[in-house]
Structure 1
Amino acid sequence: MKHYDVYTERAKELFQLLSPWVSTRTRIMDFGGAQGAILEYFVRAGFDCHVVDYGCRKPLPGIYYRGPDLQGVAEEYDLAICNHVLEHVADPIGELLSVRKALSENGIIFVEVPLELWNKQHPRPPEPVTHINWFSVPSLRYCLKAAGFDVLDVHYSSFRTYSAKRGLAVRAIARKSKAPGRNEADLSPDISELLLLKEIQRGKVGALMENFVSLPPDWATRAQSGEKGDE
């Protein structure tokens, strides 16, 4: 598959996934979406689509380039897409707070990040653009809640990589809450989710883990007991 085919497959899947959350009046912002290729099917359907990305100078036809960042943007969008962005940024919660400000009341955000399990090493094969954050379901939920979102759904999934292979991912859909806040009791990771990740490795999608460095065999036991592994 060529890059165009990969983008088209991703765009179609995203459109199908988010269709229940949009209407013809929905204004969509792709945050960090380069030229906006992931919005292809939304553009075809006539949605008002914008892209925000410091590296974009000429978006694809039908997409408006809003600017390099969200400075000065407030409560203008109904749906924000943050597709494979948070793994690259120094402050994921800060970026999510910026996106939250750009959303209208009860606006929706879709986030997808790669699931790259690692133990003392970066995942392999290496990405051309450095990943500096590694997420799981509990950690992505934490970031969204800390940034003032009510998480509606978060789960493990998969996506097509640019080399046409399948990779693991964490996906979330969340709604803008009334006010951002940090309640550490509410934000604590659920150990059942950590154990679920162990089960995923054993299941049908376990084969997808072959490109990644495995966690130590007793990692779930350590997590449950609160024991920290070697730094």
Structure 2
Amino acid sequence: MNIAEIYKKIFSEKNSKLKERILSIDEGAVLWEKYFRFLPLKLAMPLKKYNLDKKRVLDIGSAWGEFLIHFGPGSKGIEVLPEAVKFSKSLGLDVDEYNFEDEWRENAESFNAIWCSNVLEHVVSPHQLLRNFHKTLKENGLIFVRVPTIPSNWLYLKLNKLLLGFLGYEAVQHINAFTRKTAEFTIERAGFKIIESNNFLPFLKDAFSFITVVAQKIPFEYPQKRPGIHNPKWLSSN
């Protein structure tokens, strides 16, 4: 769906879904301005470089569908907020409403890529979620994990706070925090090979308080030095 079609969906007075009061026209206008009017740079770069508009992508925490709407045929979102799910479906998007930390419903080897933007810092078990990603991806599938990061030194920290007005990793709803290196390490230890870590300016990837890690699924087994008795029961199925 192109931008013009999105606009028509949200703003048309004749849209039957709007008549059902999913959103008022004014509420739709707010969503349009905030999420849909411009393609975010954090999506624009990987979308083009990795042809995500042609791939079957699973969008984790798909919100209002602002990323999902740009992915290829057969793409799907997972979202826990009922109003966001209902709105996304009104745009014709495929979205399942469930908490992926309570259960994982996705079939093995069913997606070419997984998009996970600003999610890992919220979840109770990042490793468990990444292992589920590994199981769900096709051979050589890709993950795109974006997280807020702790700037690598005090100068970068001060600059981010000055320029952005806040530090994303400090948000009260976050229960995990990463640097670029710890984000890469966490992803590698779940069965992935790091392809790149970047933001808008890759040569300043340690300067900003956010990062997108692109990684590829590789064969994985837990090392022998980790005794199986240490693993929780759910881990044996991953």
TM-score of the alignment, normalized to the shorter chain, above 0.5: yes
* Distance (whole Å) between structure 2 residues aligned to residue 155 and residue 12 of structure 1: 12
Q: Which amino acid aligns with 2:33?
A: D
Q: Secondary structure at the match of 1:48?
A: coil
Aligned to 1:62: 92
Q: Is the 8 A contact 2:47 2:53 kept in 1?
A: no
Matched, 1:48 2:74: yes
Aligned to 1:202: none
Unaligned segments of structure 1, at least 5 residues: 159-166, 185-231
* Distance (whole Å) between structure 2 residues aligned to residue 134 and residue 125 of structure 1: 6
* Distance (whole Å) between structure 2 residues aligned to residue 24 and residue 131 of structure 1: 30
Structure possessing the higher radius of gyration over alpha carbons? 2
* Distance (whole Å) between structure 2 residues aligned to residue 150 and residue 30 of structure 1: 20
> Which ranges of 4 or more aligned residues in structure 1 deviate by more than 6 Å?
none
Q: Secondary structure at the match of 1:153?
A: strand
Aligned to 1:97: 131
Which deviations, in whole Å up to 9, do the C-alpha atoms of 1:186-210 show, x marking residues without a partner?
Answer: xxxxxxxxxxxxxxxxxxxxxxxxx
Q: What TM-score, normalized by structure 1, do the two folds share?
A: 0.61
Q: CA deviation at 1:181?
A: 4.0
Candidates 144, 151, 158, aligned match of 2:194: 151
Q: What TM-score, normalized by structure 2, do the two folds share?
A: 0.60
Aligned to 2:13: none
Aligned to 1:15: 44
* Distance (whole Å) between structure 2 residues aligned to residue 72 and residue 100 of structure 1: 11
Q: CA deviation at 1:38?
A: 1.8
Aligned to 1:168: 209
More relative contact order, 1 or 2 (CA 8 Å, 6+ apart): 1
Query: Number of residues paired by the alignment?
Result: 170
Q: For residues 182 and 19 of structure 1, do their structure 2 counterparts lie closer, same or farther at Cα, with a shift above 3 Å needed?
A: farther
Which deviations, in whole Å up to 9, do the C-alpha atoms of 1:6-37 show, x marking residues without a partner?
Answer: 42345464133232223665211101222322
Which deviations, in whole Å up to 9, do the C-alpha atoms of 1:106-143 show, x marking residues without a partner?
Answer: 11100101124599xx958964x600111111111111
* Distance (whole Å) between structure 2 residues aligned to residue 96 and residue 3 of structure 1: 30
Percent identity for Structure 1 against Structure 2: 26
Q: For residues 90 and 31 of structure 1, do their structure 2 counterparts lie closer, same or farther at Cα, with a shift above 3 Å needed?
A: same
Matched, 1:81 2:110: no
